[in-house]
Amino acid sequence: MDPLTAFSLFCNIVTTVDAAIKTAKQLKELYDAPRGLTGHMERVRRSAAQLGQLVNKLDSERRKVSSESHQRGLFADIASDCKDMAGRIEEIIRECRVDDRGPRIWAVSKALFRHGETKSELDRLLSEMQSKMKTLHLSITAASEAELRTLKGQLCKHGLQQSEMMKILSSIGNDLSIEKDLLASLQGLSKAFQEAQVSMRHAAILKVLKPRAVYDREDSIRERHSETFDWIINPPDDRKSSEDSNPNGSTQSRGSHDAATSSVRTGDQIRDVGFVKWLTEGSGVFHIAGKPGSGKSTLMKFLVGEPAVRTYLEQWAASASKELIFSQFFFWKYGSVDQKTFRGLLRALLYDISVKDARVTKALFPRLWGDNETWFIPEASHITIRSRDIRDAFDKLRTDGYLRQTFRVCFFIDGLDELDEQEKNLKDLARDIKAWTEGPEGTTFMKLCVSSREEYPIMSTFPSTQRIRLQDLTKNDISTLVENTLGADEHFLALKTGNEYAARYLLDSIVKDAQGVFLWVVLLIKKIEIELSSNIASLESLENIIQTTPKELEGLIEDLLKSIENHYKHGAYFVLSMALRFTGCHLSKEGSLDDKEQAIHQNTFDNMLYNLEEYEYDEIKLPAYGIAKVLDEFPRESGAFNARPWQKWVTRQEYEAAADRAADKEIHAHPRI
């Protein structure tokens, strides 16, 4: 018998025995009253009939009890004894009734005689029944505590030992141990078992559904610079944007702007981008397109973490009296399979929305959830999730009646152009995403905000009416970044003194040359900061850096690599190759590290680590050029080294200590098995 059925049965029997004892006490009170049974005959009949029904119910419940354990066998015996005693009390009451047949005086006299004969037996039966009830309580308590321990063990196996459920169970266990209101404890335990079932099924499915490195890409993206991108969710002050000066000094209205729309100031113009209006009222796909390095991923990270975005979307869901399902995914071409494939996209979205609500998990994965009537819940290691399960679950998300009636769905997906798989191209991906928002009532149930480079297969699929080109809108943001970075540099402030116009021109030229590409600005500022730190910089030298820096991002990166001094190149390229390896990417050529086009080949790397399989410790020579920083920045358990159980690197402090002892710019790294 499973615990849920047992607790239900326990509750029924305890309730029945309690009712039987109360009824017997009522009959005893009538029995002992001055007028006796003869004076309360109608009440006696009703109580006796009720006791008879309780005896039959107790017998029925008793037969359901399994004797598979000692406690339950004892419990069944006690219930049987209570049933027999209640039955005997019913017989005594029946024997003491006044018989309506024959002379009245004779019938009353006979009843009074039996009353005197059975009084002591009735007292004894009632006392024994109460004693059995106490033993029954103890038996049920012991059985319940055993089931409670089993449940706690099951929760621990499913990784829920620190959950709120464990606190509830501990509280119920304390009530059982001090014999506090057994029936209430049983009812609480039954409810807790039902909730625990849900928690364990939920945890088991999440464990097998969870992708590798589910949030790594999002976490690796830098936070936005302060005060940038506010324009997309905060419309400008209408008083500032609704007036425009004419040659006579008067003002002319430019038209009012809906408070539920977003705008951006570009020079003296206000351009409505409509993002907030899309969040609160819109449908379909909102597309954020942009050049490489224009800040698309940074913007997407800002949006998915911005409370105002969630608030607007909840308003959208609430307008249809529904709850919000919200999730995000960040494609990464150089990441794991789950980070760069369509299947990985579906899996990550399903996992994220399932984590937040067990109701959604149950609706999406009915096969994995299993039979609600079955107590046995397999551990995650016994559950297999297949590609078909993921496809079916996502189809169910779009079509399931319960989900459509209860929720509205919004997904944010970054980097569509970083899809990397054979089975699906960018056009297929864009079409699939667009199709999710279509179909019967699709436009009101699910919508998506996506970002990508300006790739034709994507641009031609999504409507241009719900698209922004990011590099056209970030001039003020880049200006803010430049002002706040260089404007806070003490060396630049010193150069600026007495040369405000030239300094202003220099900052403006950076913003102009950036052409909306944040990464280009960041890299250029790094070059300028290096020059400023030399203490021999001038505004002219800074201007020369700006003029000679390639205006395209690829050219700037190439220029940075070429600027590395020859005697540092070997170490710099090694560090770069290690960084690539730790992100799962490496070049295919085997050869010299003195050429930036070549990195450690798989065979070379394997040879370096060969002895690790035979010895607990081995020594590998690594250049000290920032290696501790590199290994600190990148994941230490990478899919790039899944061919063998991978060792963990020593700590950054250990690297630095070893570097201090190094004589020739080499350190000895001791991998730990």
Q: What residue type is assigned to position 21 of the chain?
A: I
Planar angle of CA 463, 464, 466, nearest 5 degrees: 80
3-state secondary structure at position 439: coil
d(CA 485, CA 525): 8
Q: Point out the least confidently predicted range of 206-210, 426-430, 571-575.
A: 571-575
User: What was the pLDDT predicted at 94?
Assistant: 64
Q: Higher pLDDT residue, 454 or 152?
A: 454
| Mean of pLDDT values over 15-43 | 57
Q: Are 327 and 436 in contact (CB under 8 A)?
A: no
Instruction: Confirm if 155 and 163 have CB atoms less than 8 A apart.
Output: yes
Asked if the model's pLDDT at residue 508 lies above 70, the reply is yes
Q: What is the mean pLDDT of residues 208-212?
A: 87
Measured in residues, the chain has a length of: 673
Burial, 125: exposed, middle or buried (Cβ in 10 Å; 0-12, 13-18, 19+)? Answer: buried
Say what percent of the chain tops pLDDT 70. 50
Tell me whether residue 82 is exposed, middle or buried, using C-beta atoms within 10 angstroms of its C-beta: 0 to 12, 13 to 18, 19 or more: buried
Inform me whether the pLDDT recorded for 272 exceeds 80.
no
- 415-431: burial string, b at 16+ Cβ within 10 Å, e else: bbbbbeeeebebeebbe
Per-position b or e across 355-375, b if 16+ CB within 10 A of its CB = beebbbbbbbbeebbbeeeee
pLDDT of residue 202: 83
User: For a pLDDT cut of 90, what percent of the chain falls above it?
Assistant: 21
Most confident of 211-215, 424-428, 667-671: 424-428
Q: What is the mean predicted confidence (pLDDT) over 449-472?
A: 93
For the ranges 148-157, 185-194, 211-220, 662-671, which has the lowest average pLDDT? 662-671
Task: Give the CATH fold of the 216-238+258-469 domain.
Answer: Rossmann fold (3.40.50)
| Integer Cα distance of 571 and 548 in angstroms | 27
**Of the segments 72-86, 172-186, 373-387, 445-459, which one has the largest average pLDDT value?**
445-459
DSSP H/E element including 285? strand 285-290
Q: CB count, 10 Å around CB of 174?
A: 11
Residue 411 backbone dihedrals phi, psi, to 5 degrees: -115, 145
* Domain residue ranges of the chain, discontinuous segments joined by +: 3-207, 216-238+258-469, 475-562, 566-669
Helical segments of 178-293, H only: 182-209, 216-220, 238-241, 275-281
Single-letter residue type at 247? P
Query: Helices marked H in 100-215 — which ranges?
Result: 104-157, 164-177, 182-209
Model pLDDT, residue 336: 86
Taking 70 as the threshold, does the pLDDT of residue 435 lie above it?
yes
pLDDT of residue 324: 95
The pLDDT value recorded for residue 234 is 81
Q: What is the pLDDT of residue 643?
A: 36
Find, among 172, 216, 170, 110, the residue nearest to 636 by Cα: 216
Q: How far apart are CA 115 and CA 327, in angstroms?
A: 77
The token duo for 267 is: 């020079």
pLDDT at residue 107 in the model = 46
* 586 vs 126, residue with greater confidence: 126
Q: What is the mean pLDDT of residues 191-211?
A: 78
pLDDT, one tens digit per residue, over 167-185 is 555 555 554 454 555 556 5
Choose from 206-215, 298-307, 370-379 the range with maximum mean pLDDT: 298-307
- Rounded distance, CA 255 to CA 274, Å? 15
Higher pLDDT, 12 or 350: 350
Q: Is the dihedral of CA 565, 569, 575, 577 positive or negative?
A: positive
Residue 552 amino acid letter:
E
Q: Give CA–CA dist 385/365, Å, rounded.
A: 10
* Phi and psi torsions of 225, nearest 5°: -70, 145
Alpha-carbon gap, residue 70 to 88, rounded angstroms:
27
Find the range with the poorest average confidence among 80-89, 134-143, 342-351, 394-403. Answer: 134-143
Residue 245 has pLDDT above 90, yes or no: no
Angle between helices 3-32 and 182-209 (to 10 degrees): 170
Question: Where are the alpha helices (H) located in 306-341, listed in sequence order?
Answer: 307-318, 337-340
What is the pLDDT confidence band of residue 26, given thresholds at 50, 70 and 90? low
**C-alpha span between 258 and 405 (Å, rounded):** 30
What SS3 state is found at 148?
helix
CA angle 660/664/666 to nearest 5° reads 65
- What number is the average pLDDT over the span 394-416? 93
Instruction: Give per-residue pLDDT as tens, 559-604.
Output: 777 777 777 777 777 777 776 665 555 543 444 444 444 444 444 4
DSSP sequence for 341-358: SHHHHHHHHHHHHHHH-H
In this prediction, residues 454-460 reach a mean pLDDT of 94
Tokens (6 digits) for 671: 């991998």
Collapse the DSSP code of 266 into the 3-class scheme (helix H, G, I; strand E, B; otherwise coil) and give the result.
strand
Residue 467, pLDDT > 90, answer yes
Closest to 81 (Cα-Cα) out of 118, 117, 130: 130
Pull the structure tokens for residue 344: 């990985």
CB 282 within 8 A of CB 312: no
pLDDT category of residue 353 using cuts at 50, 70 and 90: very high
- Cβ count within 10 A of residue 395: 12
**The residue type at 517:** V
pLDDT higher than threshold 90 for residue 150: no
- Under the banding of pLDDT at 50, 70 and 90, the label for residue 453 is very high
Radius of gyration of the chain (CA): 39
Lowest mean pLDDT among 187-191, 327-331, 490-494: 187-191
Q: Which residue has the higher pLDDT, 155 or 180?
A: 155
Q: Report the alpha-carbon distance of residue 318 to residue 280 in Å, rounded.
A: 10
CA angle 483, 484, 485 (to 5 degrees): 95
Of 415-419, 426-430, 488-492, the least confident: 488-492
- 498 has pLDDT over 70: yes
- Count CB-CB contacts under 10 A for residue 110: 15
Neighbours of 94 (CB within 10 A): 12
Q: What is the mean pLDDT of the chain?
A: 70
Query: Which single residue is written with the structure tokens 């020593």?
Result: 650
**HSE, side-chain direction, 13 A CA sphere, residue 561:** 15
pLDDT at 91: 72
Q: Is 145 helix (H, G, I), strand (E, B) or coil?
A: helix
Nearest-angstrom CA–CA distance, 429 and 448: 13
Distances (CA, A) of 514 to 231, 241, 590: 19, 26, 37
Question: Are residues 298 and 518 in contact, defined by beta-carbon separation less than 8 angstroms?
Answer: yes
Most confident of 40-49, 452-461, 539-548, 619-628: 452-461
